Structure 1
Amino acid sequence: PLSYDEYHEWFNTMAPTSKVLESQKKYHFEFAPKISLIVATYNTDPSFLKAMIDSVINQTYSNWELCIADGSSNNQVEEYIRSHYDDQRIKFKRLHSNLGIAGNMNAALELCTGEYIAFFDHDDLLTPDALFENVKVLQNKNVKFVYSDEDKLISEIGIYKDPRFKPDFNLTLLRTQNYICHFLVVSKSLISRIGAFKSEYDGAQDYDFVLRASEVLKPKEIYHIPKILYHWRMHQASTAANPESKLYAFTAGKRALEDHLMRLRLQATVEMGKSLGIYNVHYEIVGNPLVSIIIPNKDHIDDLDRAIESIQEKSSYRNFEMIIVENNSTDESAFDYYKEIENKYPNVKVVYWKDEFNYSAINNFGFEFSKGDYILLLNNDTEMIEPNSLKSMLGYCQLDEVGAVGAKLLYPDDTIQHAGVIMGLGGIANHAFVNLNRENGGYFNMAFTASEVSAVTAACMMIKRSVFEEVGKLDTDFKVAFNDIDLCMKIRKKNYSIIFDPHALFYHFESKSRGLEDTPEKIERFNGEIERFETKWKDILKNGDPYYNPNFSLRYPGGYYLKSPDEFYANRKEQGGDH
């Protein structure tokens, strides 16, 4: 995988060749809608203005119109456009005053005659294939909302940097930050349905718009193009270069998010996150449901005691029971400990599994003794750090669309052991952000933000009881490995989402260097479980993780590094495609 310092060169290598761009110009689409690009100009630097307009004129798809509403304090923009461009597709309207960002954008919207509207900032640039790639997607008439990846352009030196490779639609992530941003193309009918930009959210008017769109759109109506189609210009006054230049925008974003949650009748509090532009959403618990914590254990009494005591002593959420599943301990003191802990805490119960070790069967057995509407599968070598962990996980788990929630797990040296699971990373699946320091947010602060993920580890996983039963519990054919990933796949197949919750924080004392498969029998069993998983979930492994952009490398350890060009070509060869 490549580092982001190599991105400029990477982008130029991966960008479509002049031959490809020429063939796009000649391509005939069956459905060739007019795309109206709306731009609000305000005292725009003429060199930026020229670059912006030229990037539209140079599109390989030609059925567009550029609708510019100008709220400038002088005639400079108008004079420049009138004297330099003679293209009927450029529409211009001079406003009597500056109406603010939302007002100016709405004025540009009034000029539109296209079936689709594209949002474009006055000093940014489109890649030449931006509209072509969107129209390719719009051949599917169900799609109403298309977004793509973007990067930043350092004005002075013309270097591309900071690529924002986004996941497919991720509502939970959207409720922590406006990751959609640019380049966004929506159907005009969607705007008619939800309304245009609102001045009360100026600075975050696009975030408010996207949140309102998310309230009415079905998943099949939203499409993500995993390609860089937009360059966000960085210069002294831009938010791209200096987020503090528009602090009011982040306050407006917080209000937009609060209002979105209120419209959906979701009781939650929103607070500013660890860096500008990210938000923490804390959902209020409905009622006082019982959480059943299932902890398998064999010997290792010190570990188990630490796990139990950390929750009993620290947890701010108090309605829980603990079911310890004893699994063939050989140390006699373990059985004395069980009696002690049951006497000490009325909400602790020890049950006895007599059969061979089978992680899935052991947890399913413990489940039979549980009474809670929510189950927390927990390893005995964990320790709760954040007192609100159960509360936070439960807040997410209570949402109708959510099936399971995973916590952020740290090694004892305060580096990340688990922050969600990426399918296909280093084989079947692996944890994101492994070994990253806990104070590091990782790629676009993903380690700090709640988001939908394909899977989470059962070392600490909360799941609705009803969902656990609906999917047939843990598959006992996965005795040791992949049982939790398989469970998550089954949950997602039933259209529930899996959430990574960074506000639920535990230590996981699993050794960083532990040798997993160190005997011929273990290796044989492990390979058998790999084979079984690959057979059962071949489509998911083939199609890739929807929450992990295909421009990222699958080489492990790692995650969120650039996929090198040779990795792209190797993947294409495997799939029988050409370069």
Structure 2
Amino acid sequence: MVQTTQDTGSRPVLPLAPGRPPADSAGRLRSWLRRHPRILTPLRRLMLDMSPYLPGLAQLVARLSARRWGPSPQAYRRWVEEHDTPGPAALAGMVRTALAMPDPPLISVVMPVYNTPEPLLRAAIASVRAQAYPHWEMCIADDASPAPHVQAVLAEAAASDARIRTVRRSCNGHISAASNTALELARGEFVALMDHDDLLPPQALFVVARQIRAHPETDLFFSDEDKVDGEGRRYDPYFKPGWNPELLLGQNLVSHLGVYRRELLNRLGGLREGLEGSQDWDLALRSVAAAGVERVRHIPAILYHWRQGAEATSFSEGALERCAAAGRKALAEHLEQNGAHGAEVVPQGDLPGWPRIRHAMPRPRPMASLILALPAAPEGVEALLPLLEMGGHAPAELLLIWPAGKGQPAPAGTDPRLRLLPGPPAAGRAALLNAAAAQARGEVLVLLEPGVEPAREDWLSELVAQAARPEIGAVGAMLLGPGRRIRHAGYVLDGETPARPWPLLGQAVEDDRGYIGQLRLPRDVSAVSGACLAVRKASFEAVGGLAPLPCWSDVDLCLKLRAAGLRVIWTPFSRLWQRQEDDMADRAARAEALSWLRARWGGRLAQEGFFSPLLPLREGEPSILAAPRAMAGAG
């Protein structure tokens, strides 16, 4: 038996736990290391230095030392108590406001039921009856439950509240069919989808109703959510970004709480059978395609409690592989029906429940022009050829450009893919890249910084396939530093710097999932790093190329592309090493560039649309904000 001894000196004692399972002991070790940074910091540095020689070591140190993704459980509990638990006076005020609301929207809460344990079914119904907003109806379809208590509970609920209407199906048809049966009862202008054992907080429908009246053109609303355990404790919040069409292709961003215009659901024929487990994701995809992205709106508030680990499990908890397969099918059909012909949806290798979309390459395959701006003439080019050889894409060319008069280049050899271009004398990086882009032969430009090297063999093919999509303006890659630590996963706009790296990166390494999977899924971002940025040449020229700035010209380019109606995305499936630190201008030059950007973009620099408005952008802010930040766009 392992003994632990208590040291009365200043040296901390490692808490060994006899008889504990390995996972529990690992968790205790991780917690202990976080409490003793004097040991953790040099240990992390040593392990990261050794990681190039010992595969997997970087992942180990990240799992031992990285902070939790998103807010800590303690911070979330405190935020719930202080900012998300309306008291009796606040709820009474909501009731008065709702009763005085002219033409209040009727919201139909649609809920399919099957063999729900009695306490959970009663709690779900009670959470709707406790709503501060009185203009609702509850439409419940019993999917031929064999348990006798289900009908008894539903009959009792309907008898006690005329707003509750129920129907019993003659045979079991599963969740899609049962949801459609409940939907047939609905009379409301909008429909909120609810599972049979989940909970709505008492302010949920009031918040939704105010959004409906404030944005009458919207057809689909979706809110933030959290989970609730068998003891009713709230945890694991998902503070969602604004509308993010690329992220919706990787996860069901809408559920929960999803609130749909009933006319839209009727037009779509309700939920599709045969996709059980991902039927709500399929519905969200079809609804967005039918309504248009301008009619989708995010509500930055926790309006749904998803029950986990109780006596009853949701379909998606109990049949994960079947749900994942249904999700891939729904996603593939959505892509095909919306112009992404030939796209392949496959499981991610180490995360088989997560999808990866391999977009089809246009025919003929577009040429990619890799452009590298150098401070002086290259002394050798052999070390740069892996950019082409490991790209997994042809045709491609590599253009090297530098200010004329700064050295003589070494012979380039006979490789026709390599072109050496002396640029304008004394030109900065932006001017050099613009000059090379004008001479590029490719339809897709890939702007690179010195010190960037491939980390995966298909890095270029992923960028080209994404950049070739007609709705995409720019694509950024995952950039890795020492120890495979993620250096770049997109930029957020904070109005000060003007853009900063994706928050919540912490000590994330290459294969980490990040907050709710956001480091393993492509997503829309405000801007991406010019250290590796792919853009169609036609789009680059249409917006005037790069502004002649000493820094942040990549941010300006992304803002111009988005202003032109194109999207900017980041993909984790293109990975490169960034061997050098970002080449940042001196303080005076940064101040000049920031002044120029503020004059051009104004308040737009402070409107971050793709990161949760309830999570902090800057150091020193609370881990969860008391009220949402202003966001860009309708989403």
Q: Which amino acid aligns with 1:73?
A: P
| Residue equivalent to 2:186 | 112
Q: Deviations over 1:27-72 (max 9, x none)?
A: 1323411111110111111211121111111111111100010121
| Residue equivalent to 1:366 | 436
Distance 2:237 2:193 in 1: 19
The Cα shift of 1:531 comes to 2.2
The Cα shift of 1:311 comes to 1.9
Which stretch shifts more, 159-168 or 5-14? 5-14
Q: Deviations over 1:440-472 (max 9, x none)?
A: 111011111011111101110010111111111
| Residue equivalent to 2:465 | 395
Q: Deviations over 1:260-298 (max 9, x none)?
A: 112224211111124364210010101111111111012
Q: Secondary structure at the match of 2:287?
A: helix
The Cα shift of 1:11 comes to 1.9
Does residue 452 in structure 1 map to residue 524 in structure 2? yes
TM-score by length of 1: 0.90
Does residue 248 in structure 1 map to residue 322 in structure 2? yes
CA shift in 2, pair 1:427/1:12, >3 Å: farther
Which stretch shifts more, 131-140 or 234-243? 234-243
Q: Deviations over 1:522-578 (max 9, x none)?
A: 311211212222332222233x311101111112499xx83354xx59x79xxxxxx
| Residue equivalent to 2:369 | 292
CA shift in 2, pair 1:393/1:225, >3 Å: same
Does residue 420 in structure 1 map to residue 490 in structure 2? yes
Determine which of 9, 12, 17 is the counterpart of 2:86.
17
Does residue 269 in structure 1 map to residue 344 in structure 2? yes
> Gaps (5+ residues) in structure 1?
573-579
| Residue equivalent to 2:623 | 562
CA shift in 2, pair 1:54/1:475, >3 Å: same
| Residue equivalent to 2:616 | 553
Does residue 465 in structure 1 map to residue 465 in structure 2? no
Report matched runs for 1:48-197 at 5 Å: 48-71=120-143, 72-83=145-156, 86-139=160-213, 140-156=215-231, 158-197=232-271
Q: Secondary structure at the match of 1:201?
A: coil
| Residue equivalent to 2:394 | 318
The Cα shift of 1:401 comes to 0.9
| Residue equivalent to 1:576 | none
CA shift in 2, pair 1:499/1:491, >3 Å: same
The Cα shift of 1:416 comes to 0.3
Q: Secondary structure at the match of 2:274?
A: helix
Q: CA RMSD in A?
A: 2.4
CA shift in 2, pair 1:207/1:237, >3 Å: farther
Q: Which amino acid aligns with 1:459?
A: A
Confirm or deny: 8 A CA contact 1:554 1:563 kept in the other structure. no
Does residue 44 in structure 1 map to residue 107 in structure 2? no
The Cα shift of 1:384 comes to 1.1
Distance 1:405 1:258 in 2: 22
| Residue equivalent to 2:66 | none
Q: Which runs of 4+ in 1 moved over 6 A?
A: none
TM-score by length of 2: 0.82
| Residue equivalent to 1:347 | 417
Distance 2:609 2:290 in 1: 21
CA shift in 2, pair 1:362/1:203, >3 Å: same
Distance 2:298 2:581 in 1: 38
Q: Which amino acid aligns with 2:151?
A: E
What is the aligned length? 550
Distance 2:519 2:490 in 1: 9
Which stretch shifts more, 406-415 or 424-433? 424-433
Q: Deviations over 1:91-114 (max 9, x none)?
A: 011222221111111111111111
> Gaps (5+ residues) in structure 2?
1-69, 631-635
Identity %: 27
Does residue 234 in structure 1 map to residue 308 in structure 2? yes
CA shift in 2, pair 1:206/1:540, >3 Å: same
| Residue equivalent to 2:478 | 408
CA shift in 2, pair 1:467/1:242, >3 Å: closer
Q: Secondary structure at the match of 2:433?
A: helix
The Cα shift of 1:488 comes to 0.4
Q: Secondary structure at the match of 1:413?
A: helix
Q: Deviations over 1:302-343 (max 9, x none)?
A: 89653x22223222202111111113675x5xx342x2x2x2
Q: Deviations over 1:392-433 (max 9, x none)?
A: 111111212111111111013200011111111874211222
